[in-house]
């Protein structure tokens, strides 16, 4: 056991029998990576994962209509695990597949994960490579929002992201298989509101990250820039533009 140089909580490294890794106090907030954190993340994410399941059904139906088999759609969800990118990919699906267009568009849409990962770095920087980078696979909008709320509250459950991600992944993959199988029976997902389920879930989570009037400016800047960019730029560039603009404003605000 070693004590933090600034007099904070002790820093404990993982032992040979696989015990918890408790990090020093400070920027990492005393982060731990344990089965308790994983379990908490899994349970807390279950209601959100159910909403993700609704989106997964919609994706499965779209994939089936584009000619993907149930096995292909399910394998895609199991290995890619990125709803927006997957929908874009299947919407662009053709013969031959426009590989350059698919790669470019999905890269733009997923570029926001760079910013989301950077936001987690103060807590994850001192975790082991296996723990921190192994968690990245489960980084999606919903699990990121839940994990940020957990960590900023000072709970320090480093495995929360993995636990919540496992719950989301199970629902996403299972719902994709279901949607691909019943896709022919439901020809208009929007008629049942399935196209808005995930948006509604994330908006509900986002309200939990609201910290009051002090955070109004970056939120407003991100919104305005995204709306303007949506009308001026092709494809999904507006997502990256809004995210970068809001992040830069927040960095400037915190750095003052």
pLDDT tens digit string along 146-165? 999 999 888 888 999 999 99
Band (256; pLDDT cuts 50, 70, 90): low
CA distance 7 to 219: 36
CA distance 240 to 246: 10
Tokens of 238: 């507006």
Predicted pLDDT of residue 103: 82
Provide the whole-model pTM. 0.67
pLDDT tens digit string along 165-204? 999 999 999 999 999 998 756 667 677 766 665 566 567 6
Quick one: which of 45, 48, 57 has its CA closest to 195? 57
CA distance 233 to 224: 14
> Mean pLDDT across the stretch 90-115?
78
């Amino acid at each position: 056991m070693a004590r933090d140089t600034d007099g904070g909580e002790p820093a404990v490294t993982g032992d040979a029998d696989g015990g918890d890794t408790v990090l020093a106090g400070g920027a990492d907030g005393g982060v731990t990576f344990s089965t308790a954190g994983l379990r908490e993340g899994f349970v807390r994410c279950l209601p959100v994962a159910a909403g993700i399941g609704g989106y997964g059904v919609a994706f499965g139906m779209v994939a089936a209509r584009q000619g993907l088999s149930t096995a292909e759609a399910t394998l895609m969800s199991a290995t890619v695990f990125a709803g927006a990118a997957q929908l874009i990919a299947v919407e662009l699906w053709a013969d031959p597949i426009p590989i350059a267009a698919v790669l470019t568009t999905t890269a733009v849409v997923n570029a926001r994960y760079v910013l989301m990962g950077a936001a987690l770095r103060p807590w994850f920087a001192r975790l082991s490579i296996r723990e921190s980078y192994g968690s990245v696979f489960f980084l999606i909008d919903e699990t990121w929002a839940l994990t940020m709320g957990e960590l900023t509250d000072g709970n320090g459950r480093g495995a929360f992201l993995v636990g919540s991600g496992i719950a989301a992944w199970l629902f996403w993959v299972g719902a994709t298989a279901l949607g691909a199988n019943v896709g022919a029976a439901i020809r208009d997902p929007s008629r049942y509101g399935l196209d808005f389920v995930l948006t509604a879930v994330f908006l509900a989570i986002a309200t939990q990250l609201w910290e009051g009037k002090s955070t109004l400016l970056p939120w407003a800047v991100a919104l305005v820039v995204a709306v303007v960019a949506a009308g001026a730029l092709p494809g999904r560039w507006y997502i990256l533009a809004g995210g970068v603009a809001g992040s830069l404003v927040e960095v400037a605000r915190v750095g003052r």
